Amino acid sequence: MTTVEQDVAGLAAPEDRQGLSMLQGAALTVGGVLGTGVITLPALAARAAGPASLVAWLALVLISVPLAATFGALGARFPDAGGVATYVRQAFGSKAGAMVGWCFYSAVPIGAPAASMMAGHYVAVAFGGGRVTVLGVSLALILGVGAMNARGVRLSGKVQLAFSAVLALLILVTVAVAAPHARPSAIGPFAPHGVAGVVAAAGLLVWAFAGWEAVAPVAAEYRSPRRDVPLATGIAVAVVGVLYLGLAATTVLVLGPAAATSTAPLSDLMALAIGDGARVATAGVAVLLSIGAMNAYFAGSAKLGSALGRDGALPAWFAAGSGVGQVPRRSLAVVTGLSCVTLGITAVLGLELDFWLLLATSAFGVVYVLGTAAAVRLLPPGWARRGAVVAVVASVALAISIGLPMAWALGVSVVALAYVTLRARRS
Q: Within 10 Å of residue 349's Cβ, how many Cβ atoms? A: 8
Give residue-wise pLDDT tens across range 32-63: 677 677 777 888 788 888 888 899 888 888 88
Across residues 244-256, what is the average pLDDT?
A: 86
Highest mean pLDDT among 44-48, 137-141, 322-326, 387-391: 137-141
CA-based nearest residue to 103, from 342, 354, 359:
359
What would the pLDDT profile of 10-33 be if each residue is shown by its tens digit? Answer: 444 444 445 677 777 777 777 667
CA-nearest of 240, 244, 181, 223 to 53 is 244
Model pLDDT, residue 81:
61
Q: Tell me the C-alpha distance between 240 and 219, whole Å.
A: 19
- Alpha carbon 360 to its chain's center: 10
* pLDDT at residue 4, as a whole number: 38
Longest dimension (CA), the chain: 67
Domain map (residue ranges) of the chain: 21-79+106-299+318-353
> Could you tell me which of 105, 69, 82, 103 has the C-alpha nearest to residue 7?
82
**Average pLDDT over every residue of 244-263:** 82
| pLDDT value of position 40 | 79
User: Rounded distance, CA 350 to CA 348, Å?
Assistant: 6
Q: Say which residue, 330 or 237, is predicted with more confidence.
A: 330
Q: Rounded to whole angstroms, how far apart are CA atoms 101 and 90?
A: 13
Output 16 or 191, whichever has higher pLDDT: 191
pLDDT at position 7, please? 41
Backbone angles phi, psi at 8, to 5 degrees: -95, -5
**pLDDT band for position 183 (50/70/90)?**
confident
Which band of pLDDT confidence, cut at 50, 70 and 90, is reported for residue 216? low
Residue 20, strand partner residues: 222
Q: Is 21-79+106-299+318-353 assigned to CATH 1.20.1740.10?
A: yes
Q: What is the rounded CA–CA span in Å between residue 117 and residue 287?
A: 10
CB 233 within 8 A of CB 71: yes
Residue 245 to residues 59, 186, 239, 391, 426: CA-CA distances in angstroms?
Answer: 10, 17, 10, 21, 52
6 burial via Cβ count (<10 Å: 0-12, 13-18, 19+): exposed
Q: Is 388 exposed, middle or buried (0-12, 13-18, 19+ CB in 10 A)?
A: buried
Residue type, 117: M
Look up residue 313 and give its DSSP letter. S
C-beta separation of 25 from 75 below 8 A: no
* Residue with more model confidence, 349 or 222: 349
Q: Would the pLDDT of 113 be above 90?
A: no
Least confident of 48-52, 77-81, 295-299, 401-405: 77-81
Indicate the SS3 state at residue 20: strand
> What are the pLDDT digits (tens) for 256-298?
887 777 767 878 888 877 877 778 888 887 887 788 778 877 8
Asked if residue 286 lies in contact with residue 39, where contact means CB atoms within 8 angstroms, the answer is yes
Range 394-420 burial, b when 16+ CB lie within 10 A, else e: bbeebbebbeebbebbeebbeebeebb
Q: Virtual CA dihedral for 412, 415, 416, 421, nearest 10 degrees? A: 160
Inform me whether the pLDDT recorded for 143 exceeds 90. Answer: yes
Burial of 137 (0-12, 13-18, 19+ CB in 10 A): buried
The residue that leads in pLDDT, 187 or 46, is 46
Q: Which amino acid is at 381?
A: P
3-state secondary structure of 222: strand
* Separation between Cα atoms, residue 54 and residue 60, nearest integer Å: 10
- Higher local confidence (pLDDT), 29 or 388: 388
Report pLDDT for 153: 52
For 333-368, what is each residue's pLDDT tens digit?
A: 999 999 999 999 999 998 877 788 778 888 888 888
Backbone region of residue 210 per phi and psi (left: phi > 0; alpha: psi in -120 to 50; beta: other values):
beta
- Grouping H, G, I as helix, E, B as strand and the rest as coil, residue 283 is helix
